[in-house]
Amino acid sequence: MWTDLHERRPGQLWAFMPEPEVQLLAETLVAFANSDGGTILIGVDETGQATGQVYADEVEVALQAAVRECRPPVEVRWHQAAAEEGLAFAIVVPRSPELHSLADGRVLVRTGAENRPLSGDQIRQLAATKSTGDFEAEPAPGAQREDFDDEVIAEFVAKWEERQRREWTRSVDDLLLEVGAVDESGRPTIAGVLLFARNPQAFLPQSGLTFVKFVGKLPRGEAGQPGYGRREEIGGPLARIIQRTWEVVGEEMRTGAVVTGLEREERTEYPVAAVREALVNAVAHRDYRLGGRRIEVRMFSDRMEVTSPGGLPGFITVDNIVEEHFSRNPRIVSGLYQWGYIEELGLGVDLMIEEMVRAGHPPPKFKDTPYSFTVTLYNVRERAPVPAWTRTMNERQVRALAYVQEHGRITNREYRKLCPDVSAETLRLDLVDLVERGILLKIGAKKGTYYILK
């Protein structure tokens, strides 16, 4: 078990603490409980190494003191984890249906590897979300364990073992309970039906997906009349929906080739990773309580629209969607993560934006209403694509390089115009980083400084 934990790093679902500090522990308990849950490793430094200097009695005392700082108290379970370097302890914090705060009134959520306090409006939004209950954890009316597809379950177990890098040694039903697919009585949950049932749409008709391809920019047929070029109704468990939709989209996407030097590069109408993230996010985060409407993927000649029933969850807004993370369906998200459809939690939107900008397209457009959320990807190219070696850069730096490719150079003032909502010091450090990595060359000094590709 320790091998798996040893390879983790602090992030959305993991926190490392060399020592059990009561205040930091309380903050992390509240942040995890208000978000997607998570695991706190005590006696582990930021690199994942056990310090060997923490003992069970002091962890227990600190944990009890930290729980007393939480309003209401956060339910946790903890256990010892053995390592070659010494002892470490794992505190598992489940996502809570209640809104938790600290004794001083702060309400925290987990954002990446940090615990972040919410503003008053965000607290009200999160409280409203908590009050609706945890729909995916409810028993699915009429569903039985026999409704699960053994082939799909076997595939999931194999993917789980591959992701966790260890063998699951207990029964399959124990794993289904652990991932939230069944409740303590063995009854399938909503999440379990959506992930593993042979025909989830028999229980949740709204859980399928509709794909429509139009020949022009409007929802019209070839002769200008209302109609479409292709329509597919896609059902089955969520992993199958994602896979089949991806196949259909791939069949309809235009492809081309660009020759650079001696290399021939295939280029799709939309960046593959951006389409994948838009699709997976729609399936993972839709509001499955809403009936009468499926997820819709609509392809036009100039754009692709992916619409998911249900507005943005929790305290997420269009303005903070890049920086923040909150899952409406954490069990479904975790299941798709184990399946390999989600690479790293909380980074899907960032990746979507970066891939679109890197390919020379405008950034995705996000539209939120109380009952739907739409991501629009445009296939027009505003500029030449930037090289593949830009993948280790942030979205601002990619935009700066695209500007240099188009104009031959960039100044600090021009960079500030490209990113008007970012501080001048952050942008300066972006350029310094690109120079230090040998990507840009700094020319001139003071006000006459500009940067070119090295």
Q: What residue ranges do the domains of the chain occupy?
A: 2-120, 206-378, 391-453
Residues of the chain short of pLDDT 50, as ranges, are 1-4, 260-262
Say which CATH topology domain 206-378 has. Heat Shock Protein 90 (3.30.565)
pLDDT of residue 1: 43
pLDDT of residue 32: 96
CA distance 370 to 414: 38
pLDDT per residue over 311-328, tens digit each? 898 888 888 888 788 888
Predicted pLDDT at 166 = 87
Contacts of residues 232-235 at CB distance under 8 Å and 24 or more positions apart, as own/partner, are 233/208, 233/209, 233/294, 234/208, 234/209, 234/210, 235/199, 235/200, 235/201, 235/207, 235/208, 235/209
Going from the C-alpha of 97 to that of each of 75, 157, 317, 334, 355, the distances in angstroms are: 11, 28, 21, 17, 35
Q: What are phi and psi of 20, to 5 degrees?
A: -80, 85
Distance CA 188, CA 186 (A): 6
Please provide the DSSP assignment of 351-417 as one string: HHHHHHHHTTPPPPEEEEETTEEEEEEE---SSPPPPGGGGGS-HHHHHHHHHHHHHS-B-HHHHHH
User: Residue 177's closest CA among 168, 169, 166, 186?
Assistant: 186
CATH architecture of 2-120: 2-Layer Sandwich (3.30)
| Both structure tokens of 326 | 């909150």
Helix, strand, coil percent content, the chain, rounded in steps of 5: 40, 20, 40
Is the CB of residue 211 less than 8 Å from the CB of residue 304?
no
State the pLDDT at residue 132.
Answer: 64
- List CB contacts of 381: < 8 A, sequence separation 6 or more: 359, 360, 361
| Assigned CATH topology for domain 391-453 | Arc Repressor Mutant, subunit A (1.10.10)
Q: In this predicted model, what pLDDT tens digit does every residue of 46-79 receive, in sequence order?
A: 877 888 788 899 999 999 999 999 999 999 999 8
**Helical (H) or strand (E) element with 155:** helix 150-164
Spatial separation of the C-alpha atoms in residues 66 and 29, rounded to whole Å: 8
Q: Which helix (H) or strand (E) holds 333?
A: helix 330-339
On whether the pTM is more than 0.85, the answer is no
pLDDT in tens, 107-162: 999 988 899 999 998 999 888 877 666 899 999 999 999 999 999 999 999 999 99
- Adjacent-strand bridge partners of 378: 303
